[in-house]
Amino acid sequence: MKPKIAVFEFSSCEGCQLMFANLEAEILEVLGAVEIVNFREIMTEKGDDYQIAFVEGAITQESEIERLKKIREQAKVLVALGACAHLGGVNCMKNYQDQEEVRRYVYKERAEWFDTIPARPLSAVVPVDYAVPGCPIDKKELLEVTKSLLLGKKPSLPDYPVCVECKMAENICVFDKGMTCLGPVTRAGCATICPTFGNKCEGCRGLVDNPNVNSHKQVLQEHGLSVQGILNSFRMFEGYLEVAK
Amino acid sequence: MPLKVIEKRDVEPLIRHLMERFQVVGIKKKDGKNTYGVIESPAELRLDSCATITSPKKYFFPQRETLLQFAVDGSWEPQAVVEAQPRIIFGMRPCDIAATWMLDMAFSEVNADANYLEKRKRALIIGVDCKEPCDEYCFCKSMGTLEVETGYDLFFTAADDTYIVRTGTPEGEALLGEWGKAREALYEDRVKLRAVQREKDERFKEALEFDVEELPRFLEDSYRSLLWDVLGEKCLSCGSCNLVCPTCYCFNVLDEVKLNLSEGERYRVWDSCQLEGFAKVATGENFRERRGDRVRHRFFRKGKYMKEMFGRFGCVGCGRCTRACLVHINPIEVYNQLKGGE
Amino acid sequence: MDARLLPTVDLDTIFRPRLAQLLNVEEMTAKEKLFTFQLKDGTPLGQDPGQFVEVSVFGIGEAPISVSSSPTRGDTFELCVRAVGNVTNALHRMAPGATVGIRGPFGQGFPVEEMRGRNVLFVAGGLGLVPLRSLIHAVLDMRQDFGAVTILYGTKNPSELLFRNELAQWEARDDVDYQVTVDVADESWRGNVGVITTLFRGLPVDPRNTVAVIVGPPVMYRFVIREVLGKGLPMGRILVSLERRMKCGVGKCGHCQINGVYVCQKGPVFTYSELRNLQEAI
């Protein structure tokens, strides 16, 4: 029997689901091995009988907590899809602002209708088995994780920083271009897409297991970032983590 | 082996000639820095440039390389995959030629590695002499790799409007022979070559404060030095030093399965002993858990272990690791510190 | 070097495994299973006791696993595997008939020939019995060639004891002194309680003619080696087998290095005197 897959979203831009939907050619082959029973972005049917749940988005409302717990109860495997689900992502920037102000700013005159709680990753609410990190996710990595799950292999994320992929790609170091970069402490696996196309690494995939944050912060300082500047760079995606506080 | 002379203006035609039969690779510009790449037109080749980000080892030992194709259920015999093509590396520097010797040793001793050796054997190496140090980070003279006697098929030294070309192998000689535009060197050319070499030697300074043959002893005496802890506190464990090193050859091996989940390939990728998980086994035990121990391992490999295994140092003094290190771990400084002001 | 001096190589490379069929699976404990394999080309594995193989579960990966059976016992070979990583968990899901890839045997095994005529003191901690069993079988199969045989075995608790049938046989033999201990007993346990070093109290060891063979978790070596040194054994007659990340098995990939030594080439079996100058060893 083909494993049944469902895709859900919480607070997010739904861009990671879009990456999933955009697998196009590959999705047909994937569909040969799995059955998608619930995926709002591409289908109208809604099945609640699934084994693998891919969940996008951060948790920012009380009601989302209950919904996520239900998904966790049903799913044998829960995979966080993208930076918001995996880390809290950009949603956590609001945690550093006045919650009431943020609420009014976002929901305007309807603010009373919606509650808001500090943003958090899925793992702050329920146990998460695996993650496909990134903002947005990398299609190839999503396929690798899916294949691994189907083969009974524990999907493993690289535990080395983006620098490794930059060196293999022979990119000019972002620091040598006069910018600062979170690559030295950020988990690789994105084929260093941002530095390859002239940007810096913003850390959307989260930190490696044991980053040398102190030394990296000194590097950032040496390249002109103030203490606040350093915190701000980590708060873009790592706002939920200690490193940004 | 005979000494030949090529006019500088004839180099472009030579490259064009070689491109007919070979993939020609050499140093090209990338965003203002130098990298080795496939030469599409002769004008791209920068024979005067050096200090590339990574070394030309990628042509013998690519970043990622397929080793095997297999059926997931083992229903057919797994097939070894060895990819190689005729190739000329034009413009390899003495330090990288010395590094290639090291890789040749590593991949041919005990268990010959066909994936490396086939690529290596089908490549011709045309070396180009350095005129001056790349920058303050290179220390080839101290490591004894400023001059190389072997390891190339041809070796070019610029002198006025010519390149004086040393032939290292019959293959190199034949390459020039069938091209037909290189002339035999005259007495004046030999004199000129010696003068150029002398001038070159003067421009390169000794960076180490001791004879490099002493290095293994200094390392051994410093095994328990707090220096490794200090370096470990700085080190980001980003692996950059290993990945740009021309003599590093550690790799990881991984499987990738096709979407049909029934077939796949096994491949190797460059790895780095500075990365946290390098010596970690499946039970969770990490046999080189401390950052400082990993830094020490790298320096010991370069300055002692490889010397013991192969008779030459694993460091050729190219300076790439220093250029790539965001926290300024510089082997010149480390080695001199080890000497301890004796 | 001059490319002409490079060796000619077999394009059937050092990375290509031979296929082997899983013949039998036996559950040992909650975490370990014993797998019996046969190479599909019909040849025996040809291992020395103490060597390891690289096992491929195609699509999952390859892992180094020590061979637990002795070459003195037939053309099949046995691997006792704890499910800890991707490859070993995949093995645990396999049923007889399944196919795996095998490279090797690799490494230096136990120096059986040099051990002949001597007393042998085996010390196994936990999974250390797995590689040691190949040597124990070889020694017992050539029992008359050896002096006194002592087997000391320790695990964390009774449920982790491996090869229980064989343990009972060793215990029953008159020509083997078998002693076992557990760190923590349960209600059914009637035997020794305490770490393995407690078995050394009063243990008769003739330092002039005994070889000690010690295999266990990394933390064990320091303490057990101290005990056998205390019995007067010379360092060259203390043998250990070390676990490392032997990714390629052929001395290239670098992961198994202890200082300058590739464990997959010079090990996994070492004498203690060989380890003296390898600070990273134990």
Mind listing the pLDDT tens digit for each residue in A111-159? 888 888 999 999 999 999 999 999 999 999 999 999 999 998 999 899 9
Let me know the angle formed at the C-alpha of A193 by A187 and A196, rounded to the nearest 5 degrees.
120
| C221 to A190, B160, C134: CA distances (angstroms) | 42, 66, 20
Contact A172, B53 (CB under 8 A): yes
Q: Is the ipTM of this complex over 0.90?
A: yes
For residues A62 and A179, is the Cβ–Cβ distance under 8 A? no
Whether B198 and B217 share a structural domain: no
Beta bridge partners of residue C270, listed in sequence order: C240
Residue B317's Cα: distance from chain center in Å? 11
B222 and B199 within one domain: no
Same structural domain for residues B196 and B217?
no
Chain pair A-B, CB pairs under 8 angstroms: 92
For B147, B243, B271, the CA distances from B60, given in Å and listed in that order, are 22, 14, 16
Instruction: Determine whether the interchain pair C59/A151 forms a contact, defined as Cβ–Cβ distance below 8 Å.
Output: yes
Could you tell me the pLDDT band of residue B169, with boundaries at 50, 70 and 90? Answer: very high
> Which residues, in sequence order, are CB contacts of B194 under 8 Å at separation 6+?
none
Q: Are B270 and A168 a contacting pair at CB < 8 A?
A: yes
Report whether C179 contacts C171 (CB < 8 A): no
CA–CA dist A165, A182 (Å, integer): 13
Tokens of A124: 């702050």
Superfamily per CATH, domain A4-151? NADH:ubiquinone oxidoreductase-like, 20kDa subunit (3.40.50.700)
- pLDDT of B36 over the 80 cut: yes
Of B152, B185, B203, which one is at a domain's C-terminal end? B203
- Chain A interface includes B2 (CB < 8 A): no
> Which of A150, A160, A210 faces B239 most closely, judged by CB atoms?
A160
- Low-confidence stretches of chain C (pLDDT beneath 70): 1
Is B281 found in the same domain as B135?
Answer: no
pLDDT at A29: 75
Tell whether B66 is covered by a domain: no
Give dist(CA C278, CA A203) in Å, integer.
39
pLDDT for position B277: 95
Last residue of a domain, one of B203, B222, B256: B203
What share of chain B has pLDDT > 90, as a percent?
93
Quickly list H helices, chain C.
Answer: 86-92, 112-115, 129-141, 164-172, 218-230, 263-266, 272-275
Instruction: Specify the pLDDT at position B1.
Output: 74
CA–CA distance, C243 with A227 (Å, rounded to integer): 44
pLDDT band at residue B341 under the 50/70/90 scheme: low
Residue C42, C-beta contacts closer than 8 angstroms, at least 6 positions apart: C75
Whether residues B330 and B272 fall in one domain: yes
B197 and B246 inside one domain: no
CATH topology of domain C112-241: Rossmann fold (3.40.50)
Residues near C112 by beta carbon (within 8 Å), at least 6 away in sequence: C48, C49, C135, C138, C139
For residue B137, being part of any structural domain is answered with yes
Give the CATH H-level superfamily of domain C18-106: Translation factors (2.40.30.10)
Nearest CA in chain C to B68: C16
Tell me the chain B residues in contact with residue A177 when contact means C-beta distances shorter than 8 Å: 31
- Per-residue pLDDT of A199-241, as tens digits, reads 999 999 999 999 999 999 999 999 999 999 999 999 999 999 8
B238 and chain A: CB distance < 8 Å anywhere? Answer: yes
Same domain, B121 and B15: yes
Residue that finishes a domain, picked among B182, B203, B224 = B203
CATH 3.40.50.700 residue window(s) in chain A:
4-151
- Quote the CA–CA distance of A240 and A236 in Å, as a whole number: 10
Q: Are residues B30 and B164 in the same domain?
A: yes
Mind telling me how many Å the CA of A156 is from chain C's nearest CA?
10
How far apart are alpha carbons B37 and C101 in whole angstroms?
37
State whether A161 and B277 contact (CB < 8 Å): no
* C61: closest CA of chain A, how far (Å): 9
The whole-number pLDDT of residue C99 equals 98
CB nearest to A154's CB, from C59, C86, C93 = C86
Domains of chain C: which residue ranges? Answer: 18-106, 112-241
B197 and B93 within one domain: yes
**Does B67 sit within 8 Å of C15, measured CB to CB?**
yes
**Closest to A237 measured CA to CA, from A203, A212, A201:** A203
Q: What is the chain B residue with the closest CA to C22?
A: B74
- On chain A, the residues whose CB falls within 8 A of the CB of C93 are 152
Question: Which of A43-47, A100-104, B78-82, C77-81 shows the lowest mean pLDDT across its residues?
Answer: A43-47
From chain A, the residues in CB contact with C59 under 8 A are 151, 153
Tokens encoding B62: 């690519």
Is the pLDDT at B342 greater than 60? The verdict is no
User: How many structural domains compose chain B?
Assistant: 2
Percent of chain A with pLDDT over 90: 71
Q: For B87-104, what is each residue's pLDDT tens digit? A: 999 999 999 999 999 999
Interface test with C, best of A150, A151, A156 (most C CBs within 10 A): A151
pLDDT-based confidence at residue A54 (cuts at 50, 70, 90): very high
Nearest-CA distance B22 → chain A (Å): 23
pLDDT of residue C1: 67
- Nearest CB to B223: which of C12, C84, C279? C279
Predicted pLDDT of residue C5: 75
B2 confidence band (pLDDT: 50, 70, 90): confident
Structure letter (DSSP) for residue A171: P
Average pLDDT score, chain B? 94
Q: A23 or B17: which carries more pLDDT confidence?
A: B17
Q: What is the mean pLDDT of chain C?
A: 95
Interchain proximity C14–B68, CB inside 8 Å: no
Contact C54, C106 (CB under 8 A): yes
Domain span at residue B258 reads 212-339
Residues 149-188 of A with CB under 8 A from B: 150-151, 159-161, 163-164, 167-168, 170-173, 175-177, 183-185
Write out the two tokens for B230: 């200090």
Answer whether B297's CB lies under 8 Å from C278's CB. no
Band (pLDDT 50/70/90 cuts) for residue A106 is confident
- Given a contact cutoff of 8 angstroms between Cβ atoms, the answer to whether A90 and A236 are in contact is yes
